[in-house]
Structure 1
């Protein structure tokens, strides 16, 4: 069969949606952030390995017009058109499906976190043919295509509407052994068009696993995290270190990749035995020093032994969630960490030469000016501590995506200041929950820590090469773009 996995283009003035592989959706003015869509790319690869003709079209990333994109899509004339969607853009995708249905006989498929939680909604409000429910929608799309080709019963996790009635069909079963998934076909999925300001170029993205794990977090799942709640069902699965290193080796030797970012929620480094084996295999394969490694991480995983191992294995940067500088807020969002633990973990990382990208949020319904100022002060303290080139932070407005415990709490406690179904407002730049603070002001203030004189001077002093200057230049452009978001 002929399948197109697509991201139809749209924008809001000069702002473009950060949709692909993004847990926290937003529009942004920054041109320096284009995250690689790993699960859809895996879907494209799986289909190709099974002999299907696959097209991967990202009109957002290529900044195409809607007319250019649709013309190309109709030229391909696929049997199936599949779209990843999220709450803030699902209505745009409904409209696109309804309009394009008039021009083609292609069947449309929706997948992603929002339709996993609300599959009926898309079947009721659009002419979509199939909705894939579940996090492993790469496997789900393959299962659907093969069942259609063989004219068999629809597999588990594929929901449809028949004779005006929605037919529920469970969830796509989770892939038990992630090592069995083929490595992403980078040429097929136009890998060179993606990247972020804080990564050395050329860069690539991988997933060492699916689901957030932690040494101390038995009750996995922050209340705001849509992936852990809707997609991974509070589970954590890891690929084997040997399998991950085989992919790293391919990326460095075949594509000349300088930096690889693991976009799994908590990385794999929370499992110390995994990390030890990973280090030994990296050393055995002679890959240490040939590529930078970066990853998402929880601060409570960062004891000294782990940080030493990571640095020895070739890790450079850690993306760590602070979320708030207030312990009561961390408790309410089920972060399973305290401020003291977060600061300790980050100090361990910085002490051993690891760079930190900090993420934070403002606008919790219970958050006071004193609380948000604590977040600002903690973030500033962390940024000033043993500053390295590349240390940075992000700040955004808390969003309770449908499918998260926070969304249910907001409904129950009447926290919404907008209609909870006005998903288009859920874009991380505006306040949609009751809050006594000025969220725009505080987001901008936290982002502006990048211009703190002490932080700037320490950053400049850490520059060692032309590549560092390029990295800094991209970072400055990215921050300037994000400041325009508020």
Structure 2
């Protein structure tokens, strides 16, 4: 069966979920192509559908991308008959998305097994509308099927189909960093994250957190290194370090012996152990991503459900600094509290104390169906259901604050936060600078400083090979945000 997979944009990060689905589909004998909307002209995308004539078109959509992809789907439907499947976070957690005109099915969970099964049933004329994990429209009725069991042994799945990504966007071939995932799932219950609902919906359907064997994981990295340009490895597990000691020991040994490249990963502060960091640094660990969320402990623990003290964060940062491991902190501004800007300044001060290589920020995004969405509505920070959703949490807040000056200060602090963290001499002026009407200028400062720290200090790039791409990416992100 011919399948066309579609997603909106890349922003220099490989969409591993798409690559995994393609590998699973091809393993079952399907033919797969990929269209990336933002790097193709509209006519080129339409021509691809006319020429390829897929029987199934599968879209993955994050919140904010879904409207454009749904509109594109309707455009395809106007001239070609096919079965339209949507997946990804928005389709999974936004109630009623299946009712959108032109959508035939929604995958509400893990798709490696069930998506190929849906395609098989469609091709064989079997009861496709009863495929587990799917909501399916048929003859005016919506069938909402139970979740299939999660794949327990991830070693049984094929490696992600990177060739599909690189054919669709050849720039990925020239990017020296490639992305890998050893573990699926997260056991924590942060209120802004989809994992809370995801784990509830899969209760009784297998282990939420599953990890590949070190050997299987290393073989994927090794195969990628032998086949493509690879100079830096980025681990995109929700929490890479949250593994048994024996796993980390075996991984570090194999990685040093067979890969021996700098790498980065995610950590959680209360899981950072000095002996692990020393061992992983010896294998090539260059920097880590660590969630701070908020320096306002009351908001962090009672609203965001961080379940961790600021001292945990300080102690973890000290361990990393002592051992020469870079630190990229992840912070959330614009919280639903009485004095949100003052709360954000506490986050700024905590980061100045922690001294990360880069203090990264997002503006709180109450994703549909998340616990934080329910909270902001209950507290009056989101008075009406949104009629549209922004594609990015890097520009503005969706919340209703007391004044427009509060909004301006929060959104501006988001842009200059990283710069102030690295140059604390600016801290006394934070209140004044955040109140200035310089949103466009601050956006440019934000992306330039982020690019400098990330692509020069943390993960140095090859300017001759990648420079033009990342300069172009700067302008794309300015336009997007």
Shorter-chain TM range is 0.7 to 0.9
Of 99, 123, 127, 2:75 maps to 99
Q: TM-score, normalised by structure 2?
A: 0.82
**1:182 Cα deviation from its structure 2 partner:** 0.6
> Across the two proteins, how many residue pairs are aligned to each other?
439
Tell me the alpha carbon deviations over residues 355-374 of structure 1, each in whole angstroms, 9 at most, x when there is no partner. Answer: 11111111111153332111
Instruction: List aligned pairs for 1:187-336, cutoff 5 A.
Output: 187-190=163-166, 193=170, 201-213=175-187, 220-230=188-198, 233=202, 235-283=208-256, 286-287=257-258, 290-331=260-301, 332-336=303-307
- Work out whether residues 123 and 131 of structure 1, in 8 Å CA contact, stay in contact via their aligned partners in 2: yes
**1:103 Cα deviation from its structure 2 partner:** 1.1
Structure 1: 5+ residue stretches without partners: 9-18, 21-32, 214-219, 386-390
Q: Within the alignment, does 1:52 sit opposite 2:30 as a pair?
A: yes
Of 346, 354, 376, 1:374 maps to 346
Change in Cα spacing, 1:35 to 1:464, as seen in structure 2 (3 Å) is closer
Of 307, 310, 315, 1:339 maps to 310
Tell me the alpha carbon deviations over residues 261-306 of structure 1, each in whole angstroms, 9 at most, x when there is no partner. Answer: 11111124443332122123334xx225x32221122122212112
**1:343 Cα deviation from its structure 2 partner:** 1.9
Q: TM-score, normalised by structure 1?
A: 0.81
Q: Distance in 1 between matches of 2:107 and 2:148?
A: 7
**1:465 Cα deviation from its structure 2 partner:** 12
Q: Within the alignment, does 1:159 sit opposite 2:152 as a pair?
A: no
Q: Within the alignment, does 1:127 sit opposite 2:102 as a pair?
A: yes
Q: Distance in 2 between matches of 1:127 and 1:463?
A: 47
CA root-mean-square deviation: 3.3
**1:249 Cα deviation from its structure 2 partner:** 1.2
**1:90 Cα deviation from its structure 2 partner:** 1.8
Partner of 1:388: none
Q: Distance in 1 between matches of 2:195 and 2:67?
A: 20
Q: Distance in 2 between matches of 1:340 and 1:355?
A: 19
Q: Which has the higher contact order (CA 8 A, sep 6+)?
A: 1
Point out the structure with the larger helix share.
2
Tell me the alpha carbon deviations over residues 112-151 of structure 1, each in whole angstroms, 9 at most, x when there is no partner. Answer: 12221235x22212211111111x1233311211222233
Q: Distance in 2 between matches of 1:149 and 1:475?
A: 41
**1:178 Cα deviation from its structure 2 partner:** 0.8
Q: Within the alignment, does 1:427 sit opposite 2:392 as a pair?
A: yes
Of 158, 164, 177, 2:153 maps to 177
Tell me the alpha carbon deviations over residues 407-448 of structure 1, each in whole angstroms, 9 at most, x when there is no partner. Answer: 12223333205x323242363122212335332122122133
Partner of 1:11: none
Q: Distance in 1 between matches of 2:379 and 2:124?
A: 49
